[in-house]
Amino acid sequence: MVPVSTQNPAHPEGVPSAPGAFLQDRLAGWVSDLTTLHELTERLAGTSTLDGALQELLDAGAALVGASRGLLVLEPADGRGPSRTIGLGLAHAELGHIETVPRSATAHGRFLDGLPGTDGPVACPDLLADPALDPRCREVAALLGHAATYTQPLMSATTGRLGAAVWLYDEPAEPLERQRHLVAVYARHAAEHLARLLELERARADAAVIAEELLPVRLPRVPGVRLAARHLAAPGGGGDWYDALPLPDEALGLAVGSVGGSGPSALAATGRLRAGLRAYAVLEGEDPVAVLSDLELLLRLTEPATAATALYAYCEPERRTVLLAGAGHTPPLVTGDRRTEFVETTLSAPLGMLSCWEAPSVEFTPLPGETVLLYTDGLLRRTGTTRDRAFARLRSAAAGVPKALRQDPGAVADHILRAVLPDGRDDDGRDGDGRTEGVALLAVRFDQDHSPPGTRR
């Protein structure tokens, strides 16, 4: 916490201060205040998340007004959210007590409700001495041991009302005029920074919603296999996707892929590629090479500046065979009681990198009870390690799935995400180099009670 200068000119009693000394003291105070504001705003500018900025604002404001506790309520006036309440020196239960006070009885509540006369800061220097104080407010103040409050509204020139910060004093008190000025200047700067982070968070949330809408609403139910999928969206709305669709003769088309870049353009390309692959899989799904060749042509026609990786597999559960082809994609991983190994696939360039893509397909036969994992490259990159170590980490995680969980492909997928990602299954989306990475993971378990070849269920 950066201390605020509270020094006042001091002179021996009875000795008048010279005008020059007085000006020097005033100048020193101004320099100290400017230095403090500079340090606090620099620290605030260093925050890149909304939650981090809110906490920094609350801490810095407490230092400026000389308080040790407080709370900050984020509640944008446009109603689009997000809405949050954070505390300083207050436990979760104590924040809950404060929230039971009627909003109209608090300065910050009146400001957030847009009531007249609440556009500026409000000081309540002696709460318990106020005869008009709401009984519930008096009860909570006595319970939490605060005797005074100072409320600073948070307003942005671009987005309007954002929220309010309230600092609590253990004894009757109020900030000096100089402290009020400093916290007001700091709050104006902080509100603009919050407005930018707010828009960024909203954009990320919108991108995540769109990314989820581009994925299958539900996975198909095909005799002989059980499916589970997990998707961790990148903060910027990356292009990692998966798909599974039923095909004639109880076959199954499986796909995972990744589009380079992030944001709206990557999301649009993802939607077009997934829709194209679905069409090609229906037309010629038994030939994965033909499916990806058509996808390559679609990418060059609609997204000429985009590169993408994809893996498509034609699965016949009754015969327990998987025929697949990959374009610059990571190899599937097969795991079960007897083995955990990567499927040997041929090397090929990503889609969009060559004038004409083609690579041979690979066929393999999973054993009864085994699970095949199809995943995007983001799962490896988000480990923050080298590629070889990331592959080893993934294989170790799959081999370490407890036997009791192996029958459930969803439990297998969750275990692997927790074991492979540095912080478990998180949604932060940033790898060790700070890049944004999404993850798509499709788990396909072949049932133990598999029907003999040539039979139908």
Q: Residue 34 belongs to a domain with what CATH number?
A: 3.30.450.40
Q: Is the pTM of this model over 0.85?
A: no
* Two tokens, residue 267: 């999301």
**What's the pLDDT score for residue 441?**
96
- Distance (Å, whole) CA 331 – CA 398: 14
Do 388 and 425 sit in the same domain of this protein?
A: yes
**What's the pLDDT score for residue 239?**
79
**What's the pLDDT score for residue 266?**
79
160-169 and 251-262 beta bridge pairing: unpaired
Enumerate residues 6+ apart whose C-beta is below 8 A from 220.
227, 244, 245, 246, 252
Inform me whether the pLDDT recorded for 17 exceeds 80. no
Confidence of residue 268 (pLDDT cuts 50, 70, 90): confident
**What's the pLDDT score for residue 211?**
73
Answer whether 432's CB lies under 8 Å from 384's CB. yes
Do 190 and 223 sit in the same domain of this protein?
A: no
Answer whether 148's CB lies under 8 Å from 172's CB. yes
**What's the pLDDT score for residue 423?**
64
Answer whether 21's CB lies under 8 Å from 169's CB. no
Confidence of residue 33 (pLDDT cuts 50, 70, 90): confident
**What's the pLDDT score for residue 317?**
92
Mean pLDDT of 139-153: 95
| CB neighbour class for 317 (10 Å; exposed up to 12, middle 13-18, buried from 19) | buried
Q: Sheet containing 439-446: which strands, arranged edge to edge?
A: 225-232, 439-446, 371-375, 333-335, 340-342
Domain's final residue, options 206, 233, 263: 206
User: How far does Cα 88 stand from its chain's mean position?
Assistant: 23
* Residue 7 placed within a domain: no
371-375 and 333-335 beta bridge pairing: antiparallel
E strands, 113-219, where?
Answer: 122-124, 148-156, 160-169
Inform me whether the pLDDT recorded for 343 exceeds 80. yes
**What's the pLDDT score for residue 306?**
79
Mean pLDDT of 157-181: 94
Lowest-confidence pick of 49-58, 297-306, 334-343: 297-306
Confidence of residue 352 (pLDDT cuts 50, 70, 90): confident
**What's the pLDDT score for residue 456?**
32
**What's the pLDDT score for residue 345?**
81
Whole domain around residue 89: which residue ranges?
Answer: 19-206
Do 53 and 140 sit in the same domain of this protein?
A: yes
- Distance (Å, whole) CA 330 – CA 455: 33
